[in-house]
Amino acid sequence: MRVLMTNWLYYPEFCGGALQSHRLARRLINLGVNVEVLSGTDKLNLVGYGEVDGVPVIRVLRNRSTWRHKTAYAWEIFRYIYKNQKRYDILHAHGFHAPVNLAAKATGIPLVQKITNQNVDDPVSVRERKFGWFASKVYNWAKVIVPTSPLLEKTCQTGLGSKTRYERLSNGVDTELFSPVPPAEKAHIRNRLKISHDKIVLLTVGLVSYRKGIDSLIKAVYTLTETLDEDLMLWVIGPQQYAKGFGQYDKEVESFVKKIKKMISFYGLEDIVYFEQTQTHVHEYMQAADIYIHPSRQEGQPNAILEAMSTSLPTVANIIPGITDEIIQTGKYGFLVNCEDTERFAAALKIMMRNPGLRERMGKNASLEILNNYNINDIAMKYLALYESLTVKKRIAFSKQPRKLTHRANEMQ
């Protein structure tokens, strides 16, 4: 089995889809699948061939500053697949990337296309874009669409052509890396990270942006400090810039980060809120924390929640019907709240902070749930079965074609 995965960006460049595809690629390689990755990159020094943790990666400069550059980038993606089509049995796109769909159509290689985010690359959102009628046609050239949550599955029911197959598969977690640690190990990690053992540590992971709801979280933390005597701190781990393409950064994200830092100063939270850029060892921050918080307003299926639960962290998350309510059962693994309601958001955090026994029980339940239903090993096996179902059909179709007689066979006849 030979698989080419595609992504806008790839590890170590940051995005949830990149981390998920890297995790899946490594597990598939362990299962004997030959996996390569074709990706864009915003960094000149990464362009070309390389390897990341044993995964071969081909990177193309993702310069989208002008239409000419966008076209050149799309052409390089298409050309690579077309030129190397005999090397691959399956294309697996993490997100909708039109040049990949075009290449799949031109080469006949079956395409598995995963939806990465609500209102970004689900079939309904794509159909509502400018020239959406054409984008939808290209979208439906995928052999199988993979939604990760009930909400995204619903968009497939309403937004796909009748002949397009979809199959829901969850994101997967490396449960060996994101694993709970005993109290002594937690204390050791806290010492290394210079965190007091007396503090209750709140943690959130993701891009510092409006979509991730960091403003709602800051308001809730301020409300907590007005009514709680407990010593707490909040870690915000993730990038404070979003690369739209080579040499381009999202101005809205930059403006939002400035707003957040002004809020922190206004509320006097400088000694409580700490920012860390993207970390390669985020699992250690989760192992050192006490409560995970996910106030995001928009998601596909949040990796960070799954990872935190796997690490035995109870979670307070914004309720997104069809996404977060599939993962978290209130009272069992954490709390789902409307994070726009500051008082209720803060109240849920307060209950957890004041009940260490509740946190421990929820954390154990959460860890077991991820191990049983979101283990990356099991998810990789499901993808392998999906690939095989598509290649079997391809082999059957090929075997039914009339075969040309060899010269020797002609002579015998």
pLDDT digits (tens, 9 = 90+) for 231-284: 899 999 987 666 555 556 668 888 898 999 999 999 999 999 999 876 778 999
Residue 241 CB-density burial (10 A; 0-12 exposed, 13-18 middle, 19+ buried):
middle
- Give me the mean pLDDT over the 193-210 stretch: 90
CB 199 within 8 A of CB 231: yes
Distance, CA of 120 to CA of 95 (rounded, Å): 9
d(CA 224, CA 114) in angstroms, rounded, equals 39
Strand order in the sheet with 291-294: 273-276, 232-237, 200-205, 291-294, 315-318, 334-337
Q: What angle do CA 54, 371, 389 make, to 5 degrees?
A: 60
Q: Average pLDDT of 74-86?
A: 96
**Is the pLDDT score of 329 beyond 60?**
yes
Per-residue pLDDT, 229: 76
In whole angstroms, give the CA distance from residue 53 to residue 329: 35
- Where helices occur in 84-210 by DSSP H, the ranges are 98-107, 123-127, 132-139, 150-159, 183-192
Looking at residue 246, its pLDDT comes to 53
- Nearest Cα residue to 27 out of 181, 172, 240, 215: 172
DSSP state of 123: H
Name the percent of the chain in helix, strand, coil, to the closest 5.
45, 20, 35
Within 53-97, strands assigned E span 55-61, 90-94
Q: Which domains does the chain have, with CATH numbers?
A: 2-172+375-399 (3.40.50.2000), 183-373 (3.40.50.2000)
| 3-state secondary structure at position 78 | helix
Q: Cα(70)–Cα(245) distance, rounded to whole angstroms?
A: 9
Q: How confident is the model at residue 411 (pLDDT cuts 50, 70, 90)?
A: very low
Q: Quick one: average pLDDT of 130-137?
A: 89
Question: 169: helix, coil or strand?
Answer: coil
Q: Does 392 or 77 have the greater pLDDT score?
A: 77
pLDDT over 70 percentage in the chain: 92
